[in-house]
Amino acid sequence: MVPVRPARRSRSALVCVPPPARWTYSWFERERGGRLPTRVILRAPTRADEAEFLRAARRSRRLHRHFAHPPRTPEAYRAFVRRTRQPSHDAHVVVDPGSEALVGVINLNEIVRGPFQSAYLGYYAFEPHAGRGFMSAGLAQVLRRAFGDLGLHRVEANIQPDNTRSIALVRRLGFRREGYSPRYLKLGGRWRDHERWALVREDWRGAQTAPARSQ
């Protein structure tokens, strides 16, 4: 997961743009010299996902390590669903259209309007689906929504320096490293350093012409 920076803003500065209930997006990834399509379904998390979500989170502990801390109890999951319904959040579960399994989560958090027009990006995959291009496909579509439907100008991702796969992923999507924040968030009982990566709408538009690569 890419942890997000806490922020306090007046609700009057927020605009809620409901996402489509469900949509499919295709992402073409390069592998062994060919182009293989990875299709994903994105939709809002619901109470009906609770049991499958908690199973996926529990079996992914080793993958998530100190990088991500998804809900792992019914109470935490229900609080997560309630939080995603606030206008300051835009949350999506990533679904494999073949098996309809939950393969990951992507959140736009702390959406702020006014002159800022920005959000913080958080995401994590579930085992055994990591590294198969699903998150690349899902993130590409969420960024399209962020800079399109939501009208944002900037999306920021804060990533721990040893989370090299996540850093490589945002770099491929066009993010730029803006800085380094020592002891930025307390995760797993420790204050952890983070790199600050960001993408603005103008750079995102330019990145659309770059060749897609697999996660």
Task: Establish if 45 belongs to a structural domain.
Answer: yes
- Residue with token string 């998390």: 45
Of 9-13, 15-19, 161-165, 203-207, which one has max mean pLDDT? Answer: 161-165
Q: For residue 96, give Cα distances in angstroms to 102, 150, 153, 174.
A: 7, 25, 29, 24
**Residue 67 in this model has a pLDDT that exceeds 80:** yes
pLDDT for res 159: 95
pTM to 2 decimals? Answer: 0.79
- The number of domains in the chain is 1
CATH classification at residue 44: 3.40.630.30
- Residues spanned by the domain of 59: 21-207
Task: Establish if 190 belongs to a structural domain.
Answer: yes
Per-residue pLDDT reduced to its tens digit, 188-200: 788 999 999 999 9
Task: Establish if 71 belongs to a structural domain.
Answer: yes
